[in-house]
Amino acid sequence: MSEGTTGTTVRARFRPRSSKESGERCVEYVSDNTISFTGPDGARHTFNFDKIYPEGTSQGAVFSDLTFVVEAALAGYNGTIMAYGQTGSGKTHTLLGYVAEPEQLGVVPRAVGHLAEGIGRAAEREGAEFEVTLSVVEIYCERINDLLYPFPGTGAGENLAVKTHAERGMYIEGATELVVRDEQQMVDVMTRGLAARSVAATSMNETSSRSHCIVTVRVDKTSRDGSGQTGKLVMVDLAGSERAVRTGAAGATLVEGSLINKSLSCLSNVITALTEDTRGRPRHVPYRDSKLTRVLQDSLGGTSRTVLIICCSPVRENAAETMSSLRFGSRAKGVQNTVSVNTRHSPEQLQRLLDQAKTRLAQMGAELAAARAALAAAGLELPAPPAAAAAAAAAGVTGETSAVLPPALPQQQQQAVV
């Protein structure tokens, strides 16, 4: 796997026609990555994605195209798999599936199993040690809630804040991160968290997800020499975009839908900002407009290998929502991320880096001394840096340049300086 700039991978998956749908189809599959789509106005549109999954595509076939993201996390990269689409388009089925039926397992449980197998092979092959932690949160009505918090309903573990860390990147402060030892523990923890997710019945989906759900697996690897890597796999089941007139939402469910649409609109605005031509002007990306976009900052325009799965209906009655989803996916293809391995140096490696820095510093000192000597021989003098000269003038120092020392640190701070 290579480091550098990479585009967002976008794939479109069409679910089978449901028992409630009797309208005509609106999609034709031209090739593995091209569809011809009939919009709500009857006009034909062509869309190209990295992969198209027609109705009937198995869960295993979808996941087999995503293993590179999981393996990237094992290698110390950040990876994101995200499902987007209208209510009832198959997002939750794609990501979660049915744990009780092996053939119907979704991306998340399959990814957990793939991670466990990869860790076992790497530990045996390299003698490395691994620590895996798992967190499950939801963004519900613009509040981040910890779905693994052991005492729900107490107020703690709710309305958590998003923070930035120099090494970890974006993280949710206070979210429970449980250490999991094997695949079964991973599945048990994940299942427990997902069971607490907010759902409600609508006319389009009997168990419509009313929140964005985010499962994060962090893989910390320590090699025999003490060096290490930390990979992160983020899997996001976005709440469905919806129109109240279609879903029959009312009361609290209507309010939920309004806030869902608002956060998805903010997500669309971020995609637009990341892909528009600024003609050299500074780019402003409105990540802070919603909790969702703030949490996904590493995944969109950040440091993650990101795959977006656009989930769609194949029938004409949903053409307007499907068209909106396909256009969103087309824009997202232009989002560029800069990926690199998250490394942690061993003590020996840090010492080597320190020795190299000291050697280079000594070389630069020798070069500076030689330059001063050459100038002195020519009757010239090396000018002091502007800041040092100004400080010397303010202190009334004349003649030869004197070193300007910083004020002494308090004793406690001095002890902390290496």
86 marked as binding residue: yes
275 marked as binding residue: no
90 marked as binding residue: yes
89 marked as binding residue: yes
85 marked as binding residue: yes
91 marked as binding residue: yes
401 marked as binding residue: no
Instruction: Round to whole Å and give the CA distance between 312 and 309.
Output: 10
Instruction: Round to whole Å and give the CA distance between 86 and 70.
Output: 26
Which residues define the annotated binding site for ATP? 85-92
Which residues define the annotated binding site? 85-92
